[in-house]
Amino acid sequence: MTVSPLIEARAVLRRAARTAATLLGPLDFSLGAGERVAVIGRSGSGKSVFMRVLAMLDPSDGGELLWHGRRVERHAITRYRRSVAYVQQRPALIDGTVEDNLRYPYSLRAYRDARFDREHAARLVAAAGKDADFLSKRASDLSGGEGQVAALIRVLQLAPEVLLLDEPTASLDPQSARAIESLVQAWFDADRAARASIWVSHDPAQAERVGERRLTMHAGTLTDHRETRT
């Protein structure tokens, strides 16, 4: 029996709205369960466009996106986004405490069947190397690294299948960056058989740490280095 990839992009294309210039593709890509993929490339090469199309935050202008072997239809987009989580470089936090931010997703219709688990959140906080009072901190008082930790915990508590990490540590100090890497690794290790990640990074050393499969983006196209080896 052939197992379908978690995500598969077939001839996906993205153009600029104003100029119709090609930003991405057309390209093919697949992500299987148990894979950790790192994507590197220069600024403007299309990395963020690629990630946002995979997250279904931006529409594609051609091709199709499959999830578990089935095309993602309009009615399934909400469910897809629940399972395929996008983490950006500068996350938006609501006014209030860190705990308020962690509770926020459960107020949304997409998560009406789930409940906030404070003990689980506290374990994630501890795994990130933060003190117990981190949950009580005001979002407005957080450093950049602390804000990214809070945003990542907000996502991880929802147990997504796939993480799309768009340079989440680009503006952080090395210690904060390693805390983010450790959180993602712990999430992956908890269920390797069913989870996968794509991590966009500008740091080749980090790409080595966070990805066992490495891709390079150039002018909207991807080169898979495992496929170019002889």
pLDDT in tens, 19-57: 999 999 999 999 999 999 999 999 999 999 999 999 999
What are the tens digits of pLDDT across the range 190-226? 999 999 999 999 899 999 999 999 999 999 999 987 6
7-228 maps to CATH 3.40.640.10: no
Q: Do 127 and 9 meet the contact criterion of CB atoms below 8 Å apart?
A: no
> Which CA distances in Å does 105 have to 7, 113, 150?
24, 11, 13
Q: Is the pTM of this model over 0.85?
A: yes
